[in-house]
Structure 1
Amino acid sequence: MPPATPTVSIVIPAYNEEASIRACVMAAIMQTTAASEIIVVDNRSTDATGEIVRALQVEYPDSPLIYFQQDLEQGLVPTRNFGLDRAQGTVIGRIDADSVIEPNWVAEVQQAFIDESVAAATGPVLYYDMPLRRFGLKADDRVRRFILTLSRDYHFLFGSNMAIRRTAWLAIRDQTCRDEVDELHEDIDLSIHLAQNGLKVTYVTSMVSGMSARRLEDSPRDYSYYVHRFERTYARHGLMNPVLRVPMWVFFAIYPLGKVIRTMQHRKLARAA
């Protein structure tokens, strides 16, 4: 008897994301294969994030859109955990509030998890607010596959585009770092705990999520602090393998050119306005 097709919940942590949350949720609703749940967890937003999600619930009453407020703690990890704990799907997709998943994303996640040995999956990213988006997607895919080849048995999860089997989440939940001071990469922390428990992470080229390149607008100091989250996360877990630092070096390498392209984009838009 073939394995049952897994059900997929989508969890979206959000904090002051009024500019992007509608596009994110709409992409989750308009899937070729419907998610069983779309859970938005609002973490003390002071803008219109909540109002936009509630309006979408009215606009699409037949969608499985659920809105929660997580007001007990400020931070991505407790907000993520709140959503993952409440998701009922066999598989829990986790994306950012500025992610725009491709229309076949749920179907690709389901296909990946038909293999019962897969505990988590991740895929490439399309930067939807940069030029030459499809070329960028191919480049992103190749870089990520190269990184995974180097790291061999250790596979990274990318928080803007990942899914985890519910049983795997329950197995590692209490081991994951709380990161109260917000200095780690929470998705890398998940990857580490999955690896330590012998739980398989797979990379799926066709599991594509769009995301914003807004990080390139950070100052060099802020960008450096963000990228060094890799180093701090590995240090927290006592991991010294230099291969695991490759994503950090890649992020540093793309910043100068990406910053120039982003600046030119803004100037072009300003002239056209």
Structure 2
Amino acid sequence: MLTVSIVIPAWNEEDRIGDCLVNATRQSQAPLEVLVVDNKSTDRTAAIVQDFIDRNPDQHVELLHQDKDQGLIPSRNYGLDRAKGDILGRIDADCMLRPNWVEVVSRTFTEDPDAMGATGPVAYYDMPGKNIGLKGDDTIRKAIYRADDGQYLLYGSNMALRATAWKAIRNEVCRDKADILHEDVDVSLHLIDQGFKTVYCKDMNAGISARRMDTSFTSFRHYMQRFKNTFDAHPQHTREQKPEHTLYALYPILRAFYPVYQKYLESADINPAERVWISEQMELFHRHEQEMDQED
């Protein structure tokens, strides 16, 4: 099977980076490495990562520091450039990977040698109805998250690409110093420019936070404008559907409900990131126990 590196750019993520690392390392197939790229955090992000490394020396987690430039893109590039896997996974510091994520990613690229990039559906772990949300996101993402002749766009919270593909586009991806583009869509379009195939895998699942919806409408609108900005920066590419229209429709509901549900989670002393894949993690644990019993 192909080896998988996981790259996690991080800036002031002390609330979630610990849970993110637990989920990234508690996998049915171990990642080759997990690289956390700290980008001049001013909180305890780096300390939490180092503590995780000290307590779990066999998990192949490494803390990198990208202090030259502030921003997601230079931090992402720094991590991807240093990753050693055949496949480079890229997630956010508040993402919670399903326990078979590495296995699914490795299998996806192994079974389809033409695949150069892959992505899958996500669910909001800090909102109710994970399974319903996952199915809904799967339906929407398959239908409208595409460009040109139907090529899938990668989603930054849940994406992977071949190391060879990254090397081919490394010097072509936009630097976006004005910070107005969707960097994951930009990567997708540069892959397409090279004639590379991107694929969608419904079993490649991750949990993400709905915190993006807990912002002012002005801030949310500026974030949605990044879709148009990115395609304007790549006029040779087209799209039939606009994902931002769906997100605009969801915004009022999630914006109203998100803070209410967070109060419930706090009052009930529930860590949603810890419990999002708990049933799958328990199944994995019992499977490992059975395998060990059989070996004995």
CA RMSD of aligned residues (A): 1.7
Q: TM-score when scaled to structure 1?
A: 0.94
2:49 partner letter: V
Deviations 1:196-215 (A, max 9, x none): 11100000000001110000
1:63 Cα offset (Å): 0.8
1:230 partner letter: F
Aligned: 1:198 with 2:195: yes
**Any runs of at least 4 consecutive aligned residues in structure 1 with deviations exceeding 6 A, and if so which?**
270-273
Deviations 1:195-244 (A, max 9, x none): 11110000000000111000010100000000110011111111573515
Aligned: 1:34 with 2:26: no
- Supply the distance in 2 between the matched residues of 1:116 and 1:141 (Cα, whole angstroms): 23
Secondary structure, counterpart of 1:126 in structure 2: strand
User: Any gaps of 5 or more consecutive residues in structure 1?
Assistant: none
Contact preservation (8 Å) 2:9, 2:36: yes
- Supply the distance in 2 between the matched residues of 1:18 and 1:133 (Cα, whole angstroms): 24
- Identify the range of structure 1 (143-152 vs 216-225) with the bigger mean alpha-carbon deviation: 143-152
The residue number in structure 2 matching 1:253 is 249
Aligned: 1:8 with 2:8: no
Q: What is the percent sequence identity of the aligned residues?
A: 44
1:61 Cα offset (Å): 0.8
- Supply the distance in 1 between the matched residues of 2:147 and 2:61 (Cα, whole angstroms): 39
- Supply the distance in 2 between the matched residues of 1:154 and 1:102 (Cα, whole angstroms): 25
Aligned: 1:143 with 2:127: no
Deviations 1:63-110 (A, max 9, x none): 110110000000000000000000010000000000000000000001
Pick aligned residue for 2:151 from 151, 154, 159: 154
Q: TM-score when scaled to structure 2?
A: 0.87
**Counterparts of residues 204-223 of structure 1 (less than 5 Å):** 204-223=201-220
Aligned: 1:103 with 2:99: yes
User: Any gaps of 5 or more consecutive residues in structure 2?
Assistant: 270-296
The residue number in structure 1 matching 2:279 is none
1:135 partner letter: I
- Supply the distance in 2 between the matched residues of 1:149 and 1:14 (Cα, whole angstroms): 27
Aligned: 1:112 with 2:128: no
The residue number in structure 1 matching 2:222 is 225
The residue number in structure 1 matching 2:276 is none
How many pairs were matched up?
Answer: 268
